[in-house]
Structure 1
Amino acid sequence: MSTSDDRKVLMAMIGAAHGIRGEVRVKPFGDDPLSFTDYGVLTTKDGKRSFEVEHARVKKTVVITRFKGITDRNQAEELNGVELYIRRDQLPETEDDEFYYSDLNGLDVFDQSGDMLGKIVSVQDFGAGDLLEIRPKRGGTFYVPFTKDFVPDISLAEKRVNVVLPDDYFSEGEPEPSGD
């Protein structure tokens, strides 16, 4: 018996209008800037609005997109800020050691001693590589580099991530000398 996966995955966000014929700038999320055009109808998170790509072309860091039914600048301007989603089950299966960021959100994070550090709330990239944003039970969020060295084990089935952190990872000052 198969069950429908109704979780939504954010694929792109509509930005400012482009020109006078209803085109918009779209900020895609993912490795391939045109990947959001591959899934047919895109919806808002609540599913109340849907959008079908008529044409899309990459221009620098955005994708200039025309959606069916959007024919003038006024209609295009109304779409600014709309997030575009697909159902999670529309995405292809991942290879071993590949994950969709949305699958990591909410997973419990444990350190090498087995102590729970918190839950993953997002995956961020500020330009130097992917970071897991983790929210502990108390206090502000913190980041762990999303590399094999820091995150050697992820189990989606167990909803668990194991991280290996240096002893001084949470210290405020300079790193301790290693004594070599």
Structure 2
Amino acid sequence: MPPSRLVQIGVIGAAHGVRGEVRVKAFTAELTALKRYKPVTDKAGTRVFAVSTLRPLKDDMLVVRFKGIDSREQAEALNGVGLYISRDELPPAEEDEFYWADLIGLKMERADGAPIGEVIAVTNFGADDLLEVRLDGQQRTVYVPFTKAVVPVVDVPGGRMVAYPPDGLLDEPKDGEQA
């Protein structure tokens, strides 16, 4: 499976108990969706994880036992490993909802068609989603709020989105300012 077509659906955390269970932070809308997806792999697509048991712990955390992981030591060795599935395994997104993986690589332009740049990542630092955009013809990136007011048009099949960036966002940094 090429890594560009993989979507991260969780990350393994600390060992839970002494019999090989681990905590998993789920990135799925439905907390227990992890058990439906097959195969679940690491980022390289080389290690496959099969869920043996799974139960909710709290909020977005699960307690999971993977087949072949039977000791605390084996579980501890998995701490920090991301869990990925093929993009093709995900159900179609609802209207006005997007998988982050589908946004990466889209060209961002102004309403008049003038290029702004390309989406290279989607992040969320605790408030709203932000699109990290590499500005056209530059190495510099900026974070664009991913809201309907700022990005009213998202055309995934067309590979583009239209944005109205906030005033000053795209300006060159002045001497002494960080980019």
TM-score (norm 2): 0.84
1:120–1:134 Cα contact (<8 Å) kept: yes
Determine the C-alpha separation between the residues in 2 that align with 1:45 and 1:160.
26
Give CA deviations for 1:130-166 in whole Å, capped at 9, x if unaligned: 1111112324321111111111111112211110124
Task: Show the counterpart of 2:91.
Answer: 92
Determine the C-alpha separation between the residues in 1 that align with 2:168 and 2:75.
51
Code of the aligned partner of 1:159: G
Code of the aligned partner of 2:22: V
| Secondary structure of the corresponding residue to residue 120 of structure 1 | strand
Task: Show the counterpart of 1:58.
Answer: 56
2:134–2:141 Cα contact (<8 Å) kept: yes
| Secondary structure of the corresponding residue to residue 143 of structure 2 | strand
Could you tell which deviates more after superposition, 28-37 or 149-158? Answer: 28-37
Deviating runs (4+, > 6 A) in structure 1? none
Shift of 1:49: 1.1
2:142–2:170 Cα contact (<8 Å) kept: no
1:7–1:88 Cα contact (<8 Å) kept: yes
Task: Report matched runs for 1:18-57 at 5 Å.
Answer: 18-57=16-55
Task: Show the counterpart of 1:178.
Answer: none
Task: Report matched runs for 1:3-22 at 5 Å.
Answer: 7-22=5-20
Determine the C-alpha separation between the residues in 2 that align with 1:139 and 1:86.
30
Task: Report matched runs for 1:1-180 at 5 Å.
Answer: 7-60=5-58, 61-136=60-135, 137-170=137-170
| Secondary structure of the corresponding residue to residue 65 of structure 1 | strand
Code of the aligned partner of 2:116: L
TM-score (norm 1): 0.84
Stretches of structure 1 that go unaligned for 5 or more consecutive residues are 1-5, 174-180
The number of residue pairs the alignment matches comes to 168
Stretches of structure 2 that go unaligned for 5 or more consecutive residues are 175-179
Determine the C-alpha separation between the residues in 2 that align with 1:154 and 1:101.
12
User: Larger Rg: 1 or 2?
Assistant: 1
Determine the C-alpha separation between the residues in 1 that align with 2:167 and 2:121.
24
Task: Show the counterpart of 1:177.
Answer: none
Code of the aligned partner of 2:10: A
Give CA deviations for 1:8-44 in whole Å, capped at 9, x if unaligned: 1111111121110001111111322222222133112
